Amino acid sequence: MAEAADSLPPAEVLLSKRVQEMVINQEEPPHLYICRKSGEAADEEQEENVSSDPLSQIPLIDLSILSSSSSPSSERDRELQKLGLALSSWGCFLATGHGIPSSFLDEIVRVAREFFEQPMEEKRKLEKGVEEFEGYGADPVPAKGQPLDWSDRLFLDVYPEERRKPKFWPENPPSFRDVLEEYTVKMRMMTEAVSKAMAKSLGLQEDCFLIQFGEKAPLQARFNYYSRCPRPDLILGLKPHADGSGYTIILQDVEGLQVLKGDKWFTVPTIPGALLVLMADQMEVMTNGVFKSPVHRVLSSSERDRLSVAVFYTPEPNKEIGPEEALITEERPKAYKTVKDYADVHWDYYQQGLRAIHLAKV
């Protein structure tokens, strides 16, 4: 820490290096990753804000009850009501009964881990430029003063097919591509089921969100590898943010993700076979603020590394989306404008550690 600030490596240099490499080489985490306070005072402050209330937990929704015509209608109504409540209070839920076998979820985690566990030369074949999005690496350089994330990632456009850039798709492990293609098909089915269920929970036409997103609404997959971190008290795996997509579906192999509700952080539990469905800013707009796009973050851990796969579901480029007419009422006047390509402005704000949702407000 004796070095003068101007002799420390700038973000561009750090971001051309992988966190996993620094950990293997047992390097001290560079200053730009540090984003939390240390010491007792900070501990107290941070601890206090993490909920330990066992009765207040992220809701679990069984999608099979909602999509099957064989479940009794009273049971379906109850589950729909639970869904609406989950999204208006938490902005997320853990989905079971989504029809994707647990063994397949294990498979995608396995191939993703195998990818990250390869030697650096193999992964470098898919390396992105520091300022690019797609490929293997880290997010582009954030605004000055913003911390870097203790993670490495592989970011890929997966749907529609014409957006895929095969040069970034791993050839190793050999099953990676097939597994990701299959996961994409399953994510398409799941977004259809979830979009319909959300509409029904609000008493809307079941296709209304699907129409707003559009037939070719893009899906992007981000494989996040959170290496062990020697200073979890000072460094986050992923800084607090809300997503700029419509909504995001997250698979995780161990805990680490936390969602903010009120002024408290809640840890997303790892439930075998469950997927987290997390509202993002564009669903908040489409529901006229009924559903919340929650702030979330990932802690780092000194004990174990963590893998997650986040799939972002975003309205088609150049397509206007806005609050559903039926959700604009006297008690709830129109609170959001119509927006287009919101994810792009969201990104500019994200890089400054800010939210962009105010731009969409009336």
Enumerate binding residues for Ni ion (CB under 5 A). 243
Query: Closest approach of Cβ 297 to ligand OGA, in Å?
Result: 8
Place of tokens 């943010």: 241
Q: In the complex with ligand OGA, which residue's Cβ is closer, 66 or 221?
A: 221
Residue 305, contacted partner among Ni ion, ligand OGA, none, CB below 5-8 A by kind = none
Residue nearest to ligand OGA (CB): 308
Least CB distance from residue 261 to ligand OGA, whole Å? Answer: 15
224 binding partner (options ligand OGA, Ni ion, none; Cβ < 5 to 8 Å by kind): ligand OGA
CB of residue 133 vs ligand OGA: minimum separation in angstroms? 12
Nearest approach in angstroms of CB 65 to Ni ion is: 27
Give the residue with the Cβ less far from Ni ion, 66 or 238: 238
Contact 79, 65 (CB under 8 A): yes
Q: Which does 307 bind (CB under 5 to 8 A by kind): ligand OGA, Ni ion, none?
A: none
Measured between alpha carbons, how far is 268 from 306 in angstroms, rounded to an integer? 13
Closer CB to ligand OGA, residue 172 or residue 270?
270
Q: Which does 66 bind (CB under 5 to 8 A by kind): ligand OGA, Ni ion, none?
A: none
Q: Which does 283 bind (CB under 5 to 8 A by kind): Ni ion, ligand OGA, none?
A: none
Report whether 341 contacts 284 (CB < 8 A).
no
Residue 298 interacting entry, from Ni ion, ligand OGA, none, C-beta within 5 to 8 Å by type: ligand OGA
Q: Which residues make up the interface to ligand OGA (CB under 6 A)?
A: 222, 224, 238, 243, 250, 252, 257, 296, 298, 308, 310
Question: Which CB atom, from 67 or from 248, has the smaller least distance to ligand OGA?
Answer: 248
Please choose which of Ni ion, ligand OGA, none residue 252 contacts, taking the beta carbon within 5 to 8 angstroms, the exact cut-off set by kind.
ligand OGA
Using DSSP, state whether 310 is helix, strand or coil.
Answer: strand
Tokens 């050999």, residue located:
174
For the record, the structure tokens of 265 come out as 């952080």
User: Measured between alpha carbons, how far is 7 from 265 in angstroms, rounded to an integer?
Assistant: 36
Question: In terms of CB distance, is 114 or 255 closer to ligand OGA?
Answer: 255
Q: Is 264 exposed, middle or buried (0-12, 13-18, 19+ CB in 10 A)?
A: middle
Q: What is the DSSP track for 138-203? A: -PPP--TTPPPPS-EEEEEEEESGGG--GGGS--SSTTHHHHHHHHHHHHHHHHHHHHHHHHHHTT
**Smaller CB separation from ligand OGA, 285 or 299:** 299
Report the partner that residue 18 touches, choosing among ligand OGA, Ni ion, none (CB closer than 5 to 8 A by kind).
none
What is the smallest separation between the CB atom of 257 and ligand OGA, expressed in angstroms?
4
Q: Are 195 and 209 in contact (CB under 8 A)?
A: yes
Residue 22 binds which entry of Ni ion, ligand OGA, none, with Cβ cut-offs from 5 to 8 Å by kind? none
Residue nearer to Ni ion on the CB measure, 18 or 222: 222
Q: How far is the CB of 78 from ligand OGA (least distance, A)?
A: 29
* 206 vs 275: CA distance, rounded Å: 22
Q: What is the closest distance, in whole angstroms, from the C-beta atom of residue 243 to Ni ion in the complex?
A: 4
* Contact present, 109 and 184 (Cβ < 8 Å): no
Both tokens assigned to 217: 């609404």
DSSP 30-78: PGGGB-S--SHHHHHHHHHTB---TT----EEEHHHHH-TTS-HHHHHH
Q: Which pairing describes strands 275-279 and 92-96: parallel, antiparallel, or unpaired?
A: antiparallel
Closest distance of CB 232 from ligand OGA, Å: 15
Nearest residue to the partner Ni ion, using Cβ: 243
Task: Provide CB contacts within 8 A for 162, sequence distance 6+.
Answer: none
Please, which residue, 157 or 243, has the CB nearer to Ni ion? 243
Q: How far is the CB of 114 from Ni ion (least distance, A)?
A: 24
